Amino acid sequence: MSKLKNLVAGLAGAIALNILHETLRHKKDDVPRIDLLGEDALQKVLRHFSVSIGNKDDLYKATLAGDVIGNAFYYSLIGTGGAGYIWPKALVLGIGAGIGAVTLPEPLGLDDEPVTKTDQVKVLTVGYYVFGALVTATVLKLLSRK
């Protein structure tokens, strides 16, 4: 698969993940707040360089942009190494990202509560990342049709 196809598909998966997240976070209370985790992580990195983003809207936009870009590159890995194992790679990378989102914040010094406050939130967090990975795999399959 070409790198461009992989990036396009990864971007589609990242956007789908964020649409799912944004839609549900505005409609329900007991869902992951990946946005809050991302804002915490971004501010922590910026503070390391003696900088911060004080405006809440600017912080949200910067976090969203970083999230889409980072996930697009991550999901683009699903298309590497040929088309033979796209679905297993999507599942492994999606589950891995979700488990990482649930388990890594605390050891990294971040507030894990937005993605771990209940078992439902933990499962949904993993599910969101699997969803993005499956969208990526679907787009890769569509782009690979002859």
Q: Answer whether 135's CB lies under 8 Å from 12's CB.
A: yes
Which pLDDT score, from 0 to 100, does residue 25 have?
Answer: 93
Which pLDDT band, with edges at 50, 70 and 90, does 29 fall under? confident
Residues 105-114: contacts with CB under 8 Å, at least 24 apart: 105/37, 105/40, 105/41, 108/41, 109/44, 110/37, 110/40, 110/41, 110/44, 111/36, 111/37, 111/40, 112/37, 114/32, 114/33, 114/34, 114/35, 114/36, 114/37, 114/40
pLDDT (tens digit per residue) in 45-60: 999 999 999 999 999 9
Q: Quote the Cα angle for 49-53-55, to 5°.
A: 170
pLDDT at 146: 65
Classify 66 as helix, strand or coil.
helix
Mean pLDDT, rounded, of the chain: 95
Find out whether 130 and 95 touch, Cβ atoms under 8 Å. Answer: yes
| Total number of residues shown for the chain | 146
pLDDT band at 1 (very low <50, low <70, confident <90, very high): low
Q: What is the pLDDT of residue 120?
A: 96
69-85 residue pLDDT tens = 999 999 999 999 877 89
Cα(116)–Cα(91) distance, rounded to whole angstroms? 21
